[in-house]
């Protein structure tokens, strides 16, 4: 199978061809501006020394400072981080943020570390990259297996190294260290705004009440669990949800609030707990089975490459809302398009997270604090505008949402580079 990065590059090439982008410009967009590879050493609590590979890839900063999350995962490597950094440049352009794109990661399973070890490794990462990040240079945020606490350690380390209070260098921070109301649910909230804008536009696609619209969600972390809670409050029927160890299914609808309350409470005590161990009425299913369920809406909210050549033809849904980054591969997207399945692309569908981060950064820069309603209202407006823009491009180019999103963001990136005289 093609790597995630090759997959992203193929999408850029396809979109570039459609908009007749000059080859030399395409070459600029295919290549990140800066790639940083690190070996971080960690002294374990028992005195052993371990080495972890770590990365920060800065793709393009023509529209503004680099921006993109940091992931802690055993499989994280340069290829994955480069793909995600490239997607960030495009995502920030799709939602018209004054940011370029970047991404970082450490090849570590954080569950194998104590809290003290996790803090040391997080601070070590900042020691290694502090010269190339900053509130006006590159602003990281949480991603898979990183959270507000890790952002707080990192922002504190950066502030210590600079002998200055600089919370605006990281977003997704806790509320008492420059965090913003609404940032925790921003990704899912924004995704659901996009989903509902699409449903409003395509009224005939699902002619049902919310309570009859069935949804399956892969992933029960920040993106997946918050999406499940918001959708359930809006009355939709969540019939399946999973984590890395497996999923649960109830065709009549899961009691999602109660299940997630228990799961998240248990997970705080023991990070190896799985959602399949929660109490409630359901049958256990695998992640593979979850993706192939007959549902109105499928929400991959875990990792990349989940819907691929092997299962694309078995996907039985009308809409795929990509809350994860790159869960549907290039080939799978083509196959789904042929089968009339709409894929709402991650570079728009999960951009609520970075939009929320942007508003956190604005508040950090101004010293202001806005209410949750204010922040969510601003995210909603941005997401609606971005969907409307994308819909126009899709109609104009007579293509799918994915290709249209890549095409329009590449054009915006080209304009930003032109304005600054870089090309
Ligand atoms: P998270 O670590 O909070 O949750 C990840 C979830 O995926 C967990 O439930 C985990 O058990 C599950 N998972 C991991 N490996 C899996 C596998 N092989 N099969 C099935 N499930 C698996 O991470 P998150 O922040 O929710 O991020 C999830 C996705 O959303 C990622 O692709 C991330 O890049 C993307 N995303 C997140 C944000 C954000 O603000 N958190 C923003 C934009 C995009």
Same domain, 211 and 341: yes
Distance between CA 187 and CA 202 in Å, rounded? 23
Mean pLDDT over 42-64 rounds to 98
Mean pLDDT over 339-350 rounds to 97
Res 102 pLDDT > 80: yes
Predicted local confidence at residue 204, as pLDDT: 87
pLDDT digits (tens, 9 = 90+) for 105-129: 999 999 999 999 999 999 999 999 9
Res 392 pLDDT > 90: yes
Identify which of 325, 407, 396 has the alpha carbon closest to the alpha carbon of residue 7.
325
Out of 244, 259, 355, give the residue to mutate to test ligand 1, the one with the largest number of ligand atoms within 8 Å of its CB: 244
- Structural tokens at position 73: 């995962």
pLDDT digits (tens, 9 = 90+) for 3-25: 999 999 999 999 999 999 999 99
Mean pLDDT over 265-294 rounds to 95
Predicted local confidence at residue 125, as pLDDT: 98
Distance between CA 121 and CA 339 in Å, rounded? 46
The model carries a pTM of 0.96
Predicted local confidence at residue 2, as pLDDT: 83
The residue whose CA has the least distance to atom 20 of ligand 1 is 244
Task: Say which residues have a Cβ less than 8 Å from residue 404's Cβ, sequence separation at least 6.
Answer: 390, 393, 394, 397
Res 59 pLDDT > 80: yes
- CB of 40 within 8 A of CB of 128? yes
Same domain, 338 and 191: yes
CA–centroid distance for 241 within its chain = 18
Same domain, 118 and 197: no
Mean pLDDT over 350-362 rounds to 98
- Which of 137, 154, 178 lies at the terminal end of a domain, its last residue? 178
Rounded to the nearest angstrom, the distance between the alpha carbon of 186 and the centre of ligand 1 is 14
pLDDT digits (tens, 9 = 90+) for 134-177: 999 999 999 999 999 999 999 999 999 999 999 999 999 999 99
Identify which of 290, 292, 294 has the alpha carbon closest to the alpha carbon of residue 219.
290
Identify which of 75, 62, 74 has the alpha carbon closest to the alpha carbon of residue 102.
62
In 3-state terms, what secondary structure has residue 233? helix
- Which of 122, 152, 178 lies at the terminal end of a domain, its last residue? 178
Task: Say which residues have a Cβ less than 8 Å from residue 160's Cβ, sequence separation at least 6.
Answer: none
Rounded to the nearest angstrom, the distance between the alpha carbon of 396 and the centre of ligand 1 is 33
DSSP 151-204: HHHHHHHHHHHHTS--GGGS-S--GGGT--TTGGGHHHHHHHHHHHHHHHHTTT
Residue predicted with more confidence, 206 or 237: 237
Across the chain, what does the average pLDDT equal?
Answer: 97
Q: Which residues line ligand 1 (CB under 6 A)?
A: 142-145, 187, 218-224, 242-244, 287, 301-303, 323-325, 350, 353
Q: Among the options 103, 173, 237, 394, which is catalytic? A: 103
Rounded to the nearest angstrom, the distance between the alpha carbon of 25 and the centre of ligand 1 is 32
**Residue 257 within any structural domain of the chain:** yes
What is the 3-class SS of 105-130, one letter each residue? EECCCHHHCCHHHHHHHHHHHHHHHC
Same domain, 171 and 59: yes
Give the domain CATH number at 35: 3.40.50.10860
Out of 94, 219, 354, 356, give the residue to mutate to test ligand 1, the one with the largest number of ligand atoms within 8 Å of its CB: 219
Same domain, 193 and 174: no
Same domain, 59 and 143: yes
DSSP 302-366: S-SS-B-TTTGGG-B-SEEE--SSS-B-HHHHHHHHHTT-EEE-HHHHTTHHHHHHHHHHHHHHH
Predicted local confidence at residue 271, as pLDDT: 85
Res 1 pLDDT > 80: no
Rounded to the nearest angstrom, the distance between the alpha carbon of 305 and the centre of ligand 1 is 12
Identify whether 103 is a catalytic site residue: yes
Predicted local confidence at residue 78, as pLDDT: 98
Predicted local confidence at residue 114, as pLDDT: 96
Rounded to the nearest angstrom, the distance between the alpha carbon of 301 and the centre of ligand 1 is 6
Distance between CA 315 and CA 141 in Å, rounded? 32
Angle at 286 between CA 352 and CA 261, to 5 degrees: 55
Res 34 pLDDT > 80: yes
What is the share, in percent, of the chain residues with pLDDT greater than 90?
A: 98
Out of 223, 259, 278, 356, give the residue to mutate to test ligand 1, the one with the largest number of ligand atoms within 8 Å of its CB: 223
Give the domain CATH number at 287: 3.40.50.720
- Structural tokens at position 358: 């942007």
Q: Which atom of ligand 1 is nearest to the CA of 71?
A: 34
Same domain, 229 and 161: no
Mean pLDDT over 312-317 rounds to 97
Res 341 pLDDT > 80: yes
Rounded to the nearest angstrom, the distance between the alpha carbon of 162 and the centre of ligand 1 is 32
- Structural tokens at position 391: 């819909």
Q: Which atom of ligand 1 is nearest to the CA of 220?
A: 9
Range of the domain at 227: 185-349
Structural domain count, the chain: 2
């Amino acid at each position: 199978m093609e790597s995630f990065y090759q997959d992203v590059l193929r999408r850029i090439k396809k979109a570039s061809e459609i908009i007749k982008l000059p080859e030399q410009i395409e070459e600029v967009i295919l290549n990140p501006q800066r790639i940083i590879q690190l070996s971080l050493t960690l002294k374990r609590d028992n005195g052993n020394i371990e080495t972890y590979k770590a990365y920060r890839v800065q793709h393009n900063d023509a529209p503004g400072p680099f921006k993109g999350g940091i992931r802690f995962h055993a499989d994280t490597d340069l290829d994955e981080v480069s793909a995600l950094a490239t997607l960030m440049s495009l995502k920030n352009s799709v939602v018209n943020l004054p940011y370029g794109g970047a991404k970082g990661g450490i090849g570590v399973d954080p569950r194998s570390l104590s809290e003290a070890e996790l803090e040391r490794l997080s601070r070590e990462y900042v020691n290694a990259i502090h010269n190339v990040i900053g509130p006006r240079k590159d602003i990281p945020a949480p991603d898979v297996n990183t959270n507000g606490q890790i952002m707080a350690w990192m922002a504190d380390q950066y502030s210590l190294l600079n002998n200055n209070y600089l919370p605006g260098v990281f977003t997704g921070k806790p509320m008492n260290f420059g965090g913003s109301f609404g940032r925790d649910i921003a990704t899912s909230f924004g995704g659901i705004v996009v989903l509902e804008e699409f449903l409003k536009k395509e009224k005939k696609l699902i002619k049902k009440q919310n309570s009859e619209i069935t949804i399956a969600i892969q992933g029960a972390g920040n993106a997946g669990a918050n999406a499940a809670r918001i959708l359930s409050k809006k009355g939709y029927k969540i019939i399946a949800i999973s984590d890395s160890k497996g999923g649960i299914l109830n065709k009549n609808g899961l009691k999602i609030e109660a299940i997630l309350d228990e799961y998240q409470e248990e997970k705080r005590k023991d990070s190896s707990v799985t959602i399949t161990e929660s109490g409630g009425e359901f049958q256990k299913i695998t992640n593979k089975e979850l993706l192939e369920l007959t549902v109105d809406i499928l929400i991959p909210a875990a990792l990349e490459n989940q819907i691929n050549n092997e299962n694309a033809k078995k996907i039985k849904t009308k809409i795929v809302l990509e809350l994860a980054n790159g869960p549907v591969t290039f080939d799978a997207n083509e196959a789904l398009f042929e089968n009339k399945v709409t894929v709402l692309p991650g570079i728009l569908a999960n951009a609520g997270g970075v939009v929320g981060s942007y508003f956190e950064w604005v508040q950090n820069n101004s010293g202001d604090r806005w209410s949750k309603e204010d922040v969510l209202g601003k995210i909603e407006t941005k997401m609606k505008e971005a969907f409307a823009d994308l819909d126009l491009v899709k109609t104009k180019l007579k293509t799918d949402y994915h290709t249209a999103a890549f095409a329009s963001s590449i054009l915006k990136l080209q304009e930003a580079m032109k304005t600054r005289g870089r090309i």
